[in-house]
């Protein structure tokens, strides 16, 4: 049955803070989440049960099991429901199959390998232009000057936005992402800006989705517009708008975080990152490095699920209705899976949970990998140096990245 509860949604930050016994909004936690999760692993092992009965999962195998197993989900049958842990679903990201699969399937064509291959030359040009401008200035903020505009341009192409819309899209996307994070700003001015961005987003995408659909277009808007026009199985306009919003929230901030966190990690681990400078480094060295950066410093740290039926995780019995918090950063440093897990090893490559698993595996993972590979390769060829040693991290709860990263390019980047 759909979960249409109207009770006030719980606060994710408060929920998780109680479970891990720390202030997840504190600067100390944001600077080093592993400093809090590792002591918890030492005390409780892979699965920590809180006094309330909720579970915190720290092990790779346990997190992977829950992400794949249909007995665990969000407890929302449709995007109109409230999840079992009290957060409005709003789109397919927080709904369970089969409705999740139906909505996801409507836009999956924009994220196929073929679609990515078509976009690759444009992404390469975006990177070339952005890094070229960075070289002219010598000193730039990786977040504001490189990662954000790249992610916005690529998402604009995937969605099918009109040319020249990227600048406006950057501003709107930033506010939408802040508003969708449970730990958003509470200042009146920030809330007002987020509300204006939501209104602007709904108005803009409603107009775009009502246009006459392109019969052969592959963008998200083209695919959804064709669905809206169909008489046998029409897509509701509100559902289509929500889908676009969710793709922005899931795809924009995580890509920005992957690039910014990734470069910061490379610059603060010079001995390890020197493997990218050697004459023996092959063409795939950065691609392998990106996978290790995703494991070591993932842009998304937390996923939440609910037991939809009585189940078991490892040796732990999980009654129906139990809330499970998956600490993906901890799972990615599980000593049972990774040798010396707290050491950055750019040759490691291999598996991680940065993009999730199962039915909710990130649709845009191939694009995010491509963007990070191309941008980090171009920047690394410019021999970047940190201008500011100290960085702070975003206040966001689910996604985590450096707020800004000032660098200086010391030589002309290779095209």
Q: Is 6 part of any domain?
A: no
Q: Is 51 part of any domain?
A: yes
> Is the CB of residue 209 less than 8 Å from the CB of residue 228?
yes
Res 18: pLDDT: 61
Q: Is 373 part of any domain?
A: yes
Q: In the chain, how many domains are there?
A: 1
Res 183: pLDDT: 53
Q: Is 2 part of any domain?
A: no
Q: Which of 131, 129, 170 is nearest to 407 (CA)?
A: 131
- Rounded CA-CA distance 331/322 in Å is 20
pTM listed for this prediction:
0.89
Q: Could you tell me the CA-to-CA distances from 336 to 59, 351, 374 in Å, in that order?
A: 8, 13, 32
pLDDT tens across 187-200, in order?
Answer: 777 778 888 888 88
**Residue 7's pLDDT band (cuts 50, 70, 90):** very low
Q: Is 1 part of any domain?
A: no
Least confident of 37-41, 54-58, 217-221, 279-283: 279-283
**Residue 294's pLDDT band (cuts 50, 70, 90):** very high
Determine the straight-line distance between the first and last CA of the chain, rounded to whole angstroms: 55
Q: Is 299 part of any domain?
A: yes
Q: Is 84 part of any domain?
A: yes
- Rounded CA-CA distance 365/254 in Å is 10
Which is more confident, 291 or 166?
291
Q: Could you tell me the CA-to-CA distances from 387 to 71, 121, 136, 138, 264 in Å, in that order?
A: 49, 31, 16, 11, 11
Which is more confident, 20 or 97?
97
CATH number at residue 228: 1.10.630.10
Q: Residue 13 pLDDT > 60, yes or no?
A: no
Q: 259-276 burial by CB neighbour count: b if 16+ within 10 A, else e?
A: bbbbbbbbbeeeebbeeb
Res 146: pLDDT: 96
pLDDT tens across 360-390, in order?
Answer: 888 889 999 999 999 999 999 999 999 988 8
Which is more confident, 268 or 90?
268
Instruction: Cis check for the bond before 98: say yes or no (omega within 30 of 0).
Output: yes
Res 10: pLDDT: 45
Domain residues for the domain of 338 are 12-409
Q: Is 298 part of any domain?
A: yes
Res 214: pLDDT: 67
Beta-ladder partners of 47: 57
- Rounded CA-CA distance 415/413 in Å is 6
Mean pLDDT of 224-229: 84
Q: Residue 19 pLDDT > 80, yes or no?
A: no
Res 179: pLDDT: 67
DSSP string across 227-254: HHH-SSSPPPHHHHHHHHHHHHHHHHHH
- Rounded CA-CA distance 243/56 in Å is 29
Res 85: pLDDT: 81
Beta-ladder partners of 406: 141
Least confident of 30-34, 174-178, 184-188, 341-345: 184-188
pLDDT tens across 165-184, in order?
Answer: 766 777 777 777 776 665 55
Percent of the chain predicted with pLDDT > 70: 87
3-state secondary structure of 410: coil
Res 130: pLDDT: 96
Write down the mean pLDDT value for the chain. Answer: 85
Mean pLDDT of 110-137: 91
Q: Residue 233 pLDDT > 50, yes or no?
A: yes
């Amino acid at each position: 049955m759909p979960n249409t509860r109207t009770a006030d949604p719980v606060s994710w930050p408060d929920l998780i803070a109680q479970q891990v016994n720390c202030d997840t909004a504190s600067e100390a936690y944001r600077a080093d989440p592993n400093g809090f999760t590792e002591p918890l692993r030492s005390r409780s092992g892979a699965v920590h049960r809180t006094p309330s009965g909720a579970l915190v999962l720290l092990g790779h195998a346990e997190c992977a099991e829950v992400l794949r197993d249909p007995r665990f989900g969000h407890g929302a049958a449709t995007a109109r429901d409230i999840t079992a842990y009290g957060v409005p679903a709003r789109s397919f990201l927080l709904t369970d199959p089969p409705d999740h699969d139906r909505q996801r399937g409507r836009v999956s064509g924009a994220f196929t390998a073929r679609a990515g291959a078509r976009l690759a030359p444009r992404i390469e040009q975006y990177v070339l232009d952005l890094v070229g401008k960075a070289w002219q200035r010598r000193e730039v903020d990786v977040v504001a000057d490189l990662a954000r505009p790249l992610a916005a341009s690529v998402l604009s192409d995937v969605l099918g936005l009109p040319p020249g819309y990227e600048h406006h899209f950057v501003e709107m996307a930033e506010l939408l992402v802040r508003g969708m994070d449970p730990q958003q700003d509470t200042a009146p001015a920030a809330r007002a800006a987020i509300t204006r961005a939501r209104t602007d987003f709904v108005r803009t995408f409603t107009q775009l989705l009502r246009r006459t659909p392109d019969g052969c277009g592959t963008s998200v808007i083209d695919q959804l517009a064709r669905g809206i026009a169909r008489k046998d199985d029409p897509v509701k306009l509100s559902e289509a708008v929500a889908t676009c919003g969710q793709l922005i929230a899931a795809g924009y901030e995580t890509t920005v975080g992957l690039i910014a966190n990734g470069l910061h990690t490379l610059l603060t681990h010079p001995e390890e990152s020197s493997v990218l400078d050697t004459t023996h480094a092959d063409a795939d060295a950065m691609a392998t490095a990106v996978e290790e950066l995703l494991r070591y410093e993932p842009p998304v740290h937390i996923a939440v699920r609910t037991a939809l039926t009585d189940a078991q995780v490892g040796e732990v019995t999980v009654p129906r209705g139990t809330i499970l918090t998956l600490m993906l950063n901890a799972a990615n440093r599980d000593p049972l899976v990774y040798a010396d897990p707290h050491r950055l090893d750019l040759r490691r490559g291999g598996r991680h949970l940065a993009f999730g698993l199962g039915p909710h595996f990130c649709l845009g993972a191939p694009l995010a990998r491509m963007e990070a590979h191309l941008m980090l390769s171009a920047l690394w060829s410019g021999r970047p140096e940190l201008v500011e040693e100290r960085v702070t991290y975003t206040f966001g709860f689910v996604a985590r990245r450096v707020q800004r990263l000032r660098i200086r390019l010391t030589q002309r980047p290779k095209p």
